Structure 1
Amino acid sequence: MTWTIYLSGEIHTDWRDQIEEGAKALDLPVCFSGPVTDHAASDDCGVVILGQEENKFWHDHKGAKLNAIRTRTLLEAADIVVVRFGEKYKQWNAAFDAGFAAALGKPMIVMHGKDHQHALKEVDAAALAVTETPQEVVQILRYVMEGKLA
């Protein structure tokens, strides 16, 4: 079986690459998916494809709807959802993805630093694992897929 892992969350660090490289090094049977991580493309896709908007609300609204097609489809297809909350920015989209994954009954791994523990307590309560590093996520994937510890 090939497991599909959806990687949601912040786009400003290389955490996705670290998880993908770690899984590849262990030869785990995985396929990764996730949102569009090109910030400008994600923000502007709606107006580039469907036409400009003078009002920023409608500009963002168009983009959010197009991005939701990808997000919903890939979240629904995922076997496991990993949601990363970064240090610098509030990732409202990551929180929304976590709620959507929980509503779908998807097994969820959440990743964030200790400074976010209180703010994310409800998200953490919905997760089956809460981690701080990409390496912990890789070890969890290895364990659930192969039954092996590091």
Structure 2
Amino acid sequence: MADQRIWTVYLSGEIHTDWRDQITKGVEEAGLPVELVSPVTDHASSDDCGADILGAEDSSFWHDHKGAKVNAMRTRTLLESADIAVIRFGDKYKQWNAAFDAGFAAAQSIPYVTLHDPALNHALKEVDGAAMAVAEQPEQVVRLLRYVIRGEL
């Protein structure tokens, strides 16, 4: 009898390119039993959620702090229930949140894959060192998932 398990894959990190869409399309085309989840990827909503929901703040520090706490409820819950995490680092912005997610995944023994350009290898050597795999393209992530889930190359 075939395994009916649905794998949950958390997609963390950079929000300015279509890497999530590429992985979604690849997973669908491969027919993989995967549910893809992620943080809120609308930048303004993510930044302003705390103040919009709980009230405005005069200080940008407390505005950001409130938003970070509200976002952390989603991030921690989804990451803790993930079977695998994919942590994407782009080259345009520093994704401190992605590095935090990678550390959290490592501390929780959640296997993760980093996804980034080779130009970032040195900067991410510790993060990559704890990763189960380091990919350069979303297609490689889909192939990794196909192998891990089905044992197919």
RMSD of the TM alignment (CA)? 0.4
1:25 pairs with 2:36: no
Partner of residue 149, structure 2 = 145
What amino acid maps onto 1:93 in structure 2? N
Q: Which residues of 2 match residues 81-92 of structure 1 at below 5 A?
A: 81-92=85-96
Q: How many residues align?
A: 149
Match status 1:78 vs 2:86: no
Partners of 2:76 and 2:61 in 1: how far apart? 21
Task: Give the AA of the match of 2:103.
Answer: G
Partner of 1:118: 122
Answer yes or no: is 1:12 the counterpart of 2:16.
yes
Once residues 53 and 144 of structure 1 are traced to their aligned partners in structure 2, the CA distance between those partners, rounded to angstroms, is 46
TM-score w.r.t. structure 2 length? 0.97
Unaligned segments of structure 1, at least 5 residues: none
Distance 1:123 1:84 in 2: 11
Tell me which amino acid in the other structure corresponds to 1:140.
L
Distance 1:23 1:135 in 2: 9
Looking at structure 2, the residues matched to 100 and 37 of structure 1 have their Cα atoms a distance apart, in angstroms, of 19
Instruction: Please report the TM-score for the alignment, with normalisation by the length of structure 1.
Output: 0.99
Matched, 1:35 2:34: no
User: Distance between the aligned counterparts of 1:40 and 1:57, measured in 2?
Assistant: 16
Deviation digits for residues 53-88 of structure 1 (CA, Å, limit 9, x no counterpart): 110000000000000000000000000000000010
Hey, what's the Cα distance between the residues in 1 that align with 2:117 and 2:19? Answer: 13
| Helix, strand or coil at the partner of 2:94 | coil
Question: Which blocks of at least 5 consecutive residues in structure 2 are unaligned?
Answer: none
Identity across the alignment (%): 66
2:138 paired with 1:134: yes
Question: In the alignment, which residue of structure 1 is the partner of 2:103?
Answer: 99
Q: Could you list the structure 1 runs, at least 4 aligned residues long, displaced by more than 2 angstroms after superposition.
A: none
